[in-house]
């Protein structure tokens, strides 16, 4: 998970050196993954297992082990991240805690061996060789182009943030004690071999993170040694531990994780305020005052019954609702996800597509996987009677170098329109191409202004 940055010696926090996003590593092996679409990418990642089988039998249910005896896949996995990559990356301004953790499992406990401030490769290698410590590198997709490419596609596929960590462990050593995470995890073995032991979850689909779980783990349900090219999936809540067998120089594996805070409970919390907001406009019961001194006394059976009745009213209202008002989840996802992957200087993301749109133009949506249309209360007004507005959020201007670094500030990029523009926006979102004059708006001026706004934001192009 994201780590907080350590302050520099002068008391000011230094940020990471910006990534050179346009240049692919020369040593990158030919990809064995298919990037034709997000769906096809995921299919190729878990091949030969089909997505239908995966989501029916394994997702959120039990581990999946895919062992491949394919040198091409192994070579590609090995190219994703190597121990040797750390030397050049340390020269780009990495910090202990924020970018790198150094740790070792000693007596069933996690021992953190971090220094202060910047990471220097010689010291890092010394701790690795002499103290047999594991190097945990946070969010390598900030620096490695192929991981950016993979995770950007996976974020489109899952509709959820996708983070990653690299773990490099010397032979005969273990970095972390048995623990479980609150994310769905895909393990890619990159270098050497890693022994894994998975146990039955003590908290299925865990929300909380537990550092030490060795007193409750029981017997392993899966013991396996992963080799380069192998993939292991396990659901959140699965207790696990891994070590590098003796006799090996080291082992490197990558964890790709997703679906943190992405449950039905999270979605209900996100939308319930919108349901209450809309229902209270029409239902006087929701606008009636609570009993006197309710907040000063214990809740009675009558008050609980009243609240239950109001919740049933909301449930009835929800049955006929076509569009839920999302308070934060959609916006937070778009704000914090990776920008689209590109090769070159990224001009495509910052240059409007085609000529200036006119009334007689035909347009199409660009980067559909990276833009959302949502409806919500007017965020520029704070009074109770604020009207609903249409919002477009996109990730074209997101910063790759802050992805999944929770302490970094992010901002929303997008546009705001009157609610009367929703149908016209849906036309653009749902049609492969559409004529500007066919948009469902009352005047030609409104039609032209709408497409001009989207074009200026690089969200549509004239075809």
At 205-215, the pLDDT tens digits run: 665 545 455 55
Over residues 261-278, the mean pLDDT reads 89
Same domain, 159 and 192: yes
Domain membership flag for residue 151: yes
- pLDDT at residue 15 in the model: 45
- Residue 435 located in a structural domain: yes
Is 380 found in the same domain as 308?
A: no
Banded pLDDT at 372 (limits 50, 70, 90): very high
- Judged on CB neighbours under 10 Å (0-12, 13-18, 19+), 235 is buried
* pLDDT, position 135: 98
Q: Pick the last residue of a domain from 212, 238, 258.
A: 258
Decide which of 258, 273, 308 is a domain's last residue: 258
Task: Tell whether 159 is covered by a domain.
Answer: yes
**Average of pLDDT values for 252-281?**
92
d(Cα 110, Cα 87) in Å, to the nearest integer? 25
pLDDT of residue 225: 98
307 domain-assigned? yes
Which is more confidently placed, 342 or 379?
342
pLDDT of residue 343: 83
Residue 17 lies in a domain: no
With bands split at pLDDT 50, 70 and 90, how would you rate the model's confidence at 106? very high
The reported pLDDT for the residue numbered 178 is 92
Please determine, for residue 349, whether its predicted confidence score (pLDDT) is greater than 50.
yes
Residue whose structure tokens are 């924020």: 98
Residues 253 and 285 in one domain: no
* In a shared domain, residues 236 and 382: no
CA 139/CA 141 separation, integer angstroms: 5
Q: Are residues 129 and 250 in the same domain?
A: yes
Phi–psi pair at 334, nearest 5 degrees: -65, -40
Hey, what are 441's tokens?
């708006």
2-28 pLDDT, tens digit per residue, is 343 333 333 334 444 444 443 444 457
Total domain count, the chain: 3
**Cα atoms found within 13 Å of the Cα of residue 194, Cβ hemisphere only:** 33
CATH assignment at residue 416? 3.90.930.40
pLDDT single digits (tens) 449-460: 999 999 999 999
Q: Give the predicted TM-score (pTM) of the model.
A: 0.89
At residue 41, the pLDDT reads 98
User: Is 200 in the same domain as 51?
Assistant: yes
pLDDT the model gives residue 340? 96
In a domain, 388, yes or no: yes
**Structural domain harbouring 61:** 38-258
Q: Which of 258, 289, 308 is the last residue of a domain?
A: 258
pLDDT at 244 > cutoff 80:
yes
- The rounded mean pLDDT for the chain is 89
Give domain status of residue 426, yes or no. yes
CATH code of 290's domain: 1.10.10.1500
Instruction: State whether 140 and 81 are in the same domain.
Output: yes
Ordered strands of the 413-418 beta sheet: 371-377, 388-394, 413-418
Same domain? 234 vs 300: no
370 and 447, same domain (yes or no): yes
State the average pLDDT over residues 169-195. 96
pLDDT at 16: 42
Q: How confident is the model at residue 202 (pLDDT cuts 50, 70, 90)?
A: low
Alpha-carbon distance 141 to 150, whole Å?
Answer: 9
CATH of the domain at 207: 2.60.120.650
pLDDT, position 321: 75
148 lies in the same domain as 240 = yes
pLDDT at position 54, please? Answer: 98
Same domain, 137 and 230: yes
For the segment 382-402, the average pLDDT, to the nearest whole number, is: 84
Q: Give the Å distances, CA to CA, from 219 to 205, 216, 238, 324, 411.
A: 19, 10, 13, 45, 46
Q: How confident is the model at residue 327 (pLDDT cuts 50, 70, 90)?
A: confident
305 is a domain residue? yes
Q: Are residues 283 and 345 in the same domain?
A: no
């Amino acid at each position: 998970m994201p780590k907080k940055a350590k302050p520099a010696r002068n008391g000011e926090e230094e940020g990471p050196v910006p990534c050179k996003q346009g240049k692919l590593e020369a040593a990158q092996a030919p990809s064995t993954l298919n990037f034709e679409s997000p769906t096809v990418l995921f299919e190729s990642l878990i091949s030969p297992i089909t997505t239908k089988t995966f989501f029916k039998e394994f997702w959120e249910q039990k581990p999946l082990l895919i062992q491949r005896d394919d040198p091409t896949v192994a070579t590609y996995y090995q190219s994703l991240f190597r121990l040797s990559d750390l030397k050049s990356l340390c020269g780009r301004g990495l910090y202990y805690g924020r970018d790198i953790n150094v740790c070792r499992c000693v007596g069933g406990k996690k021992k953190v061996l971090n220094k202060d401030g910047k990471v220097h490769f010689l010291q890092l290698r010394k701790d690795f060789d002499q103290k047999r410590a594991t190097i945990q590198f946070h969010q390598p997709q900030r620096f490695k182009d192929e991981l950016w490419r993979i995770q950007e596609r996976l974020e489109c596929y899952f509709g959820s943030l996708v983070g990653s960590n690299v773990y490099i462990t010397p032979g005969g050593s273990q970095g972390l004690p048995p623990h479980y995470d609150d994310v769905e995890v895909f393990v890619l073995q990159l270098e050497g071999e890693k022994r894994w032991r998975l146990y039955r979850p003590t908290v299925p689909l865990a929300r909380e993170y537990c550092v030490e779980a060795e007193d409750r783990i029981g017997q392993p349900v899966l013991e396996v040694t992963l080799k380069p090219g192998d993939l292991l999936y396990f659901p959140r809540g699965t207790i696990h531990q891994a070590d590098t067998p003796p006799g090996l120089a080291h082992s490197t594996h990558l964890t790709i994780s997703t679906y943190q805070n992405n449950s039905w409970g999270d979605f209900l919390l996100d939308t319930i305020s919108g349901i209450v907001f809309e229902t209270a406009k029409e239902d006087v019961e929701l606008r009636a005052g609570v009993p006197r001194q309710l907040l000063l006394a214990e809740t009675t059976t009558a008050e609980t019954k009243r609240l239950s009745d109001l919740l049933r009213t909301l449930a009835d209202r929800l049955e006929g609702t076509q569009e839920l008002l999302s308070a934060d989840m959609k916006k937070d996802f778009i704000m914090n996800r990776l920008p689209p992957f590109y090769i070159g200087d990224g001009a495509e993301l910052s240059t409007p597509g085609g000529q200036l749109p006119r009334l007689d133009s035909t347009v199409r949506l660009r980067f559909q996987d990276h833009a959302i249309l949502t409806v919500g209360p007017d965020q520029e007004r704070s009074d109770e009677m604020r009207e609903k507005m249409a919002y477009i959020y996109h990730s074209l201007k997101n910063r790759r170098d802050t992805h999944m670094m929770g302490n970094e500030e992010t901002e929303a990029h997008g546009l705001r329109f009157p609610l009367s523009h929703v149908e016209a926006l849906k036309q653009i979102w749902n049609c492969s191409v559409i004529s500007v004059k066919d948009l469902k708006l009352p005047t030609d001026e409104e039609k032209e202004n709408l497409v001009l706004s989207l074009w200026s934001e690089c969200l549509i192009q004239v075809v």
